[in-house]
Homo-oligomer: A and B are copies of this chain.
Amino acid sequence: MTKVKVFVTLKESVLDPQGAAVQGSLAKMGYGEVADVRIGKYLELTISETTRDIDSVVKEMCEKLLANTVIEDYRFEVEEEN
C-alpha cells in the first residue's frame, strides 16, 4: 500500500470567498493578526500495489478529477507504507 497526500489549492489570482469569510470571523473573535486565509482541499489516497507508475497515475487523476486546473493548482507527496 502506498499513501499519497494531495493538496489542491486555488490559484493565487482566484478570489477565495470562503477564506475571506473565515478571516472575517477570526478577526471578530479577536485574531486580528491573521492577515489572510486561503482554503484548499487535502486528500489522502491509499493505493494498492500496481504495475503502473504511481507518480504519473496520481498526476492523471488530479488532472481529470481531483483538481479543476482552470482555477486550482495541485501538488502531491508519495509516501511508501508497508
- A54-78 residues with Cβ-Cβ distance < 8 A to B are 57, 60-61, 64-66
Given contacts A33-B47, A42-B9, A43-B40, contact A22 B57 (CB under 8 A): no
* A15 on the B face (CB < 8 A): no
Contact in complex: B44, A37 (CB < 8 Å): yes
Q: How far is the CB of A26 from chain B (nearest CB, A)?
A: 6
Question: Which of B1, B39, B49, B61 meets A31, CB within 8 Å?
Answer: B61
| Closest B residue, CB atoms, query A31 | B61
Interchain CB contact under 8 A, B37 and A45: yes
State which of B33, B34, B42 has its C-beta within 8 Å of the C-beta of A41: B42
Contacts of A31 in B (CB 8 A): 57, 60-61
